[in-house]
Structure 1
């Protein structure tokens, strides 16, 4: 069973590698209460589960779309509500409505980022002509 525990709980360095977030950023998310590690080692080191890693990946996805830390927390809380069977219908409806708003906002942000990426590609294509002599 000891091997299972090691597999289920990842240290922060491995989590950083898997999520492509810095250790400093992961610690900050813990400090502000976005993703609290599920366990601590005997030496006090943060230990993360697959669910914790999933939450960090969700945050990583939200960040370039312009969500604030508070909004990220609200979105994660809404996901928790929808993933918890014992919540009331009113809680589920409120969570679903918030996620629908976030979805609309994410779609708008993706459209804007796509437009910016098109501009960036146009510029790199233009500059590539000079790099290749002309």
Structure 2
């Protein structure tokens, strides 16, 4: 049974819309390590783990690789440990700028898709 403020992998999967397989894979590659384990070895996650996972999930539609996701998380972790680190802040700013570019490309694709659907509706 999870302790107060923790959840098992199934609950985390349900809350985030990701599969158990994906969560296990993220653990295997070190992208999202559970905050703890039960005596029986079951993964336990916290609200902070859930927030981290939701950040990862939000990067997926922008086409980020797992490696790039890991880099972003390392930058965020570094800034939490050393808030004034200028190098890490500059890297975060660069990642943010890249995310805006990726979002712009998606927006253009969506506009093209809307135009396509509109043309099909007129026939």
Calculate the TM-score normalised by the size of structure 2. Answer: 0.89
Encode CA deviations 1:67-99: one digit per residue, 9 max, x unaligned: 221111111111111112xx385xx21211111
Q: How many residues align?
A: 123
How far is the alpha carbon of 1:111 from its aligned partner?
0.4
- Aligned residue for 1:26? 23
1:45 to 23, 39, 42: 42
Matches within 5 A, 1:1-134: 5-6=3-4, 8-84=5-81, 87=82, 89=84, 92-130=85-123
Q: Which structure has the larger Rg?
A: 1
Change (3 A) 1:128 1:77: same
Structure 2 Cα separation of the partners of residues 25 and 121 of structure 1: 31
Structure 1 Cα separation of the partners of residues 83 and 109 of structure 2: 42
Equivalent residue of 1:47, what SS? strand
Kindly report the root-mean-square deviation, in angstroms, between the aligned alpha carbons of the 2 structures.
1.9
Structure 2 Cα separation of the partners of residues 99 and 17 of structure 1: 30
Calculate the TM-score normalised by the size of structure 1. Answer: 0.83
Structure 2 Cα separation of the partners of residues 88 and 17 of structure 1: 33
Query: Please, which runs of 5 or more residues in structure 1 have no aligned partner?
Result: none
How far is the alpha carbon of 1:57 from its aligned partner?
0.8
